[in-house]
Amino acid sequence: MNKKLAAEVKELFGKDYTEFCEVDPFNPKNEMAGVISRKSNEYYGSLIITRVNNREITPQLIMGTPKMHYPFGESADGTRNYAFPSAKYIEIYEKLDGTNVLSYFYTDGENRYLTYKTRLRPFLGSSRFGDFYNMWKETAAPYIDRLRQIMIKHNCNLSFELYGARNPHLVVYKNPLDIALLFGVTNTGKIMSPTKLGLAAEEDYSSLDEIPLVKRFRVINRDYVWNYETTQKELEANLKQEEEGYYSGLEGTVWYLHLIDGRCLQIKCKPETIETIHFSAGAGGLNKNIVIATCWNAFENVDTLTIDFVKQLLIEEFQPEIVEANHYLIERCVGFVTREAEFRNRVLDEYRALGMSILLNKREVMRSLSAKFPKQQMKKVYSIIMSFA
């Protein structure tokens, strides 16, 4: 990295970045090199591409899916200090709990290529515990031409959520696997809400399964806090705990504040239960559920779950001393999630080896598998298979 480029990277990403050199699985003749940001702000997951196919190019900044924040901080006595900017109107969309995928273009100086990435990797990948490459190809294949059209028309990257029972996170979904188009982001950092992309207007992008609009309203008498807390109470009332560490309902909502100066700002609003899990730093420690959720998220970026990598992810949200003080909690959660992932893979391997469909031969399939797993695990075995059926 030359001095000029190093200065540009430092200005944008500080010291929070990782260098990479990888083959693009969606354009397998291309090898790309550059740096990816880990800075917990609007540059989170952004790329600066410096070489394509061993050829130096004019550095390309690819903006990723930025970190979203709560519209408040907490004072020493636990009260909230809200800070809402002046907005002309607000749109509130459902927040999904899955793997974020960004579609983006890059060039080799002559040709333009379309590809996809998770937050902290330059491309979608596959591993034993998370085959994001094939899950994306399976669900997105019918829409690729349309995605390309949207990106060209609005000159933006597109942010998606890959979610469902086959991609487990904190919230449990009944659907096996889906994608939802969330929003657009330009390489200058401009956020484009679903309506700005035309998804709720005259153009028919309904087959992309864009996220449901929960509410749209104009701000009257600066009633931001009332609307925010009312929405949070509604989310909490509809949240239900399933098995330990998992919930059904909405993980939360994303608010798009369309500001007076023309910008669009994103904030998040979650039910109190989920917020407590994701905002536990105020209590001076980590919560078991947030560590588990972070472990599942880690599979988006690594093939093997390690304590050190999970700590790196947690330090993006919590003070290093808090993370280090919870070393043994993190160690236990890493072990738990690894065992869960291995159990899921074992169940699916045994099921596939039978060569039968559970949808057509439920009794025979379950009878055969009962010889492989203890009786008390068979309900869980059935749930795993049905999520992939």
Cα–Cα distance measured from residue 344 to residue 348, given in angstroms and rounded to the nearest whole number:
6
Return phi, psi of residue 42, to 5°: -65, -15
| pTM, 2 dp | 0.80
Cα–Cα distance measured from residue 134 to residue 202, given in angstroms and rounded to the nearest whole number:
32
- Position 221 scores a pLDDT of 62
Which residue spans within the chain are E strands per DSSP?
17-23, 31-37, 47-52, 55-62, 72-74, 80-82, 87-95, 99-107, 112-117, 126-127, 130-131, 157-163, 178-185, 191-192, 213-218, 240-241, 247-248, 252-259, 264-269
Question: Per-residue pLDDT for the chain (389 aa), expressed as one digit of tens each?
Answer: 666 667 777 778 878 888 999 999 999 999 999 999 988 788 989 999 999 998 888 899 999 998 888 888 766 666 788 888 888 899 999 988 889 999 999 999 889 999 999 988 999 988 777 789 999 999 998 889 888 999 999 999 999 999 988 887 777 788 888 999 999 999 999 999 988 887 544 444 445 666 788 888 887 666 888 889 999 999 898 888 776 556 777 888 999 999 988 899 999 998 888 777 665 543 355 778 788 888 888 888 887 889 988 988 888 777 777 888 888 889 989 999 899 888 988 998 898 888 888 888 888 989 999 999 988 888 888 888 887 76
Burial of 140-153, coded b for 16+ CB within 10 Å and e otherwise, reads beebeeebeebbee
**Structural domains of the chain ordered from first start:** 63-271 (3.30.470.30), 279-389 (no CATH)
Q: If we measure between CA atoms, which residue out of 142, 153, 148 comes closest to residue 179?
A: 142
- Position 283 scores a pLDDT of 39
**What does the block give as tokens for 233?**
């109470």
